[in-house]
A and B are shown apart, each in its own frame.
Chain A
Amino acid sequence: MTPKTLTLQDLLRTDFAPGGGTQEYFVNMGPQHPATHGVLRLLLKLDGETLRQVIPVLGYIHRGIEKICEHQTYRQIVHLSDRLDYLSALANNWCVTRVVERAAGIETNERIETIRTLMAELERLQSHTLWWGVFGMDLGAFTPFLHGFRDREELTQIFEDTIGARLTMNYIQPGGLLHDLHKDFAPRVRAWLKDFGTKVDEYDRMLSGNLIAQKRLVDIGALSGDEALGLGATGPVLRASGVPWDLRRVRPYGVYDQLDFVVPVGEKGDCWDRYWVRIEEMRQSLALCETLIENIPEGKTMLVKPAAKIRLPEGTFYEELETPRGIFGVHLHSRGKDMPWRFHFRSPNLHNLWCITKIAPGARVADIVAMLAGLDLIVPDMDR
């Protein structure tokens, strides 16, 4: 018996989905894909060009940081928190520092808290400029990438003056700050803020009003406030869905209780609202930084001996704060040693990721890139 040879005509006539309808198939997106910003893998179940289901597959950058933390002293853990969400390294440092300080009963002074708040806000600007640039690039516009990175580079150099690192800061330590501010810090930040005030408007003119960008963002990936809360989404993703939940306002830490700012909130929770919330956040952070840089009180910047061993009392402690991507929490279980018994991070990106399973079904396959860019995911923070 000779095997039957199928011609192209035969193939076209073949009924792959008996009983009518179309055939569903799977497409792998990642782990190496430029739009997933790292090594996130998404299994897409497609029907033609329409997304039926999105299954995130994690673990391609799982480094076991929580396990390593069990073997590190509390000072050493701070540098590991840099590597989780490296675009909000200072906020992560601050959260680890806060939980250790609360457990050890270390009181800080006004100068330390002001500088921490200022640094966190500058980092928010640094993170959002990168997000804006990459967001434009994901939509197919390369120019935003150049503009966003140009403004980010200047801020990176300002950080480098004081901290000595460009990306992985390790600056906010239990008991204070690693170094005092550089003598050029205040004038350089003032100059940058003055410059950046016009840049945000330039961003707005360049991308926000663009008709193609609007078509790709408005009414794409709408997420209601209840759904966002149910999925545990935080940060701009939650606020874009109309829930005004910002820890800086709800449970103030640092010197946020003395500051006046608006929490931008979206309406529909689509990609456009997520974009707009972040642009508005940049304006708010800019105003906060302008206030803070003029009001840094005098005082010491390190209140404990840097070489002193920190021992925490037995117990369980939890602290959280608002990073550029949402609520970052640290859960610490101590058994009275200088190392934790168990250390757990509540990372905002892991929870924000699951929004994609809710907003993607029904959308077109090209929209998933816009959705991922709108969620602003950092993969090492999910996998830890």
Chain B
Amino acid sequence: MAVGHAEGPGQNLLLTRLEDVISWARSNSLWPLTFGTSCCAIEMMMASGASHHDLARFGAEVTRPSPRQADLLIVAGTIVKRMAQPLRTLYEQMPEPRYVIATGACVISGGPFIYHSYSSLRGVDDVIPVDVYVPGCPPRPEGLFYGILTLQRMIRERAGLKHPEERRAPVTAALPEGITKQEIQAEMLELFEAQGRRNVHEEYRRTVSDPGAKGAYPGRGERG
């Protein structure tokens, strides 16, 4: 991927090399934002603060309480609809280039709260763009490390001075090659149907787009 930098008018060899150096430096000095909403935050603290795992080995331990000083947002814990707007604000307050790691099942797809929850988001990428997904409930510290190493590799290969906001498709860390988020979501939908469960989130979306449709939200349905 790094070959593409020297192409196009106005780009010379020196600038290309400089971009590589900057990307290298940027990838090794990530400053994460102290942001955790629930369980995953504890495992993130175990990974970043505690001496056993020690995130400092990978150059990403300087957690900042202010988004204006951070360039990595680790979304740790469920994001509910009420938190979606503050999260978007936090993301927009961060200076560019900024990166997002989504840790845990809740922020990837909804996780344990995917069935019948009227308030949790089914995946944080409805609100902010995500670079790396780290699965687990919560992910082990080693899983988070793999996610951060994946992000560092992405930064070194891709992000440069010219296009800080441009991204390629998100990757899922610590999963076998070739499994995409779309496949996971399709499997979840199959589960919905196989177990005869109602997809409340989908019903809500449908109600918003067509209020007169059948199966109006938030109907309680026949539960006995």
In Å, the complex CA distance between A63 and B43 comes to: 20
Which of B10-18, B19-27, B114-122, B151-159 is the interface stretch? B114-122
| Contact bitstring A86-115, B, C-beta under 8 A = 1, else 0 | 110000000000000000000000000000
With an 8 A cutoff between CB atoms, is A38 at the interface?
A: yes
For B82, the chain A residues whose CB sits under 8 A away are: 59-60, 62
Give chain A nearest CB distance to B94 CB in angstroms. 12
For B86, the chain A residues whose CB sits under 8 A away are: 31-32, 39, 60
Are A38 and B78 interface neighbours, CB within 8 A?
no
What's the dominant secondary structure at chain B's contact region? loop
Known contacts A31-B83, A71-B115: A167-B37 contact under CB 8 Å:
no
For B204, the chain A residues whose CB sits under 8 A away are: none
Identify A38's interface contact among B36, B80, B197, CB under 8 A: B36
With an 8 A cutoff between CB atoms, is A83 at the interface?
A: yes
Identify A34's interface contact among B46, B65, B83, B138, CB under 8 A: B65
Which of A145-153, A265-273, A346-354, A355-363 is the interface stretch? A145-153
Are B80 and A63 interface neighbours, CB within 8 A?
yes
Are B46 and A38 interface neighbours, CB within 8 A?
no
Known contacts A60-B83, A149-B49: A87-B42 contact under CB 8 Å:
yes
Known contacts A33-B65, A130-B42, A156-B46: A61-B116 contact under CB 8 Å:
no
In Å, the complex CA distance between A152 and B141 comes to: 14
With an 8 A cutoff between CB atoms, is B41 at the interface?
A: yes
With an 8 A cutoff between CB atoms, is A299 at the interface?
A: no
With an 8 A cutoff between CB atoms, is A141 at the interface?
A: no
Known contacts A61-B83, A146-B50: A67-B116 contact under CB 8 Å:
yes
With an 8 A cutoff between CB atoms, is B35 at the interface?
A: yes
For B120, the chain A residues whose CB sits under 8 A away are: 63-64
For B80, the chain A residues whose CB sits under 8 A away are: 59-63
Are B119 and A32 interface neighbours, CB within 8 A?
no
Are A63 and B119 interface neighbours, CB within 8 A?
yes
| Contact bitstring B106-124, A, C-beta under 8 A = 1, else 0 | 0000001101111110000
Which residues of chain A from 326 to 376 have any CB-CB distance to chain B below 8 Å in the complex?
335, 337, 339
**Range of interface residues on A (Cβ < 8 Å):** 35 or more
Give chain A nearest CB distance to B132 CB in angstroms. 21
Which residues of chain A from 43 to 68 have any CB-CB distance to chain B below 8 Å in the complex?
59-65, 67-68
Known contacts A34-B65, A149-B50, A335-B224: A64-B117 contact under CB 8 Å:
yes
With an 8 A cutoff between CB atoms, is A79 at the interface?
A: yes
What is the interface size of chain B, counting residues whose CB is below 8 A from a CB of the partner? Answer: 39
Are A145 and B49 interface neighbours, CB within 8 A?
yes
For B51, the chain A residues whose CB sits under 8 A away are: 146, 149-150
Are B42 and A86 interface neighbours, CB within 8 A?
yes
With an 8 A cutoff between CB atoms, is A380 at the interface?
A: yes
For A80, the chain B residues whose CB sits under 8 A away are: 112
Are B36 and A146 interface neighbours, CB within 8 A?
no
CB closest chain-A residue, reference B220: A70
Give chain B nearest CB distance to A165 CB in angstroms. 9
In Å, the complex CA distance between A9 and B118 comes to: 54
Known contacts A62-B119, A71-B116: A34-B49 contact under CB 8 Å:
no
For B137, the chain A residues whose CB sits under 8 A away are: 168
CB closest chain-B residue, reference A383: B80
With an 8 A cutoff between CB atoms, is A166 at the interface?
A: yes
In Å, the complex CA distance between A167 and B46 comes to: 11
Identify A146's interface contact among B39, B49, B65, B112, CB under 8 A: B49
Which residues of chain B from 43 to 63 have any CB-CB distance to chain A below 8 Å in the complex?
43, 45-46, 49-53
Identify A68's interface contact among B43, B67, B117, CB under 8 A: B117
For A61, the chain B residues whose CB sits under 8 A away are: 37-38, 77-78, 80, 83
With an 8 A cutoff between CB atoms, is B223 at the interface?
A: yes
Identify B138's interface contact among A59, A149, A168, CB under 8 A: A168
For A67, the chain B residues whose CB sits under 8 A away are: 116-118
In Å, the complex CA distance between A32 and B118 comes to: 23
Identify A380's interface contact among B38, B50, B117, CB under 8 A: B38
Are B41 and A38 interface neighbours, CB within 8 A?
yes
Give chain B nearest CB distance to A331 CB in angstroms. 19
Are A83 and B223 interface neighbours, CB within 8 A?
no
Give chain B nearest CB distance to A62 CB in angstroms. 5
For B45, the chain A residues whose CB sits under 8 A away are: 149
Which residues of chain B from 66 to 92 have any CB-CB distance to chain A below 8 Å in the complex?
67, 77-78, 80, 82-83, 86, 90
In Å, the complex CA distance between A59 and B85 comes to: 13
For A130, the chain B residues whose CB sits under 8 A away are: 42
Are B65 and A150 interface neighbours, CB within 8 A?
no
- Top 8 closest pairs, chain A to chain B, by CB: A149-B50, A86-B39, A153-B52, A34-B65, A380-B38, A64-B117, A71-B116, A60-B83
Interface residues of B (CB under 8 A from A): 34-39, 41-43, 45-46, 49-53, 65, 67, 77-78, 80, 82-83, 86, 90, 112-113, 115-120, 137-138, 140, 197, 223-224
Q: Given A61-B78, A62-B80, A380-B77, list of 16 further CB < 8 A pairs?
A: A32-B35, A38-B38, A59-B82, A63-B78, A64-B117, A65-B113, A71-B197, A86-B42, A130-B42, A146-B50, A149-B51, A153-B52, A153-B53, A167-B42, A168-B137, A380-B78
Could you give 16 example pairs across A and B, Cβ below 8 Å?
A: A34-B34, A59-B80, A60-B86, A61-B78, A61-B83, A62-B82, A63-B119, A65-B113, A68-B115, A68-B116, A71-B223, A80-B112, A149-B51, A337-B224, A380-B38, A380-B77
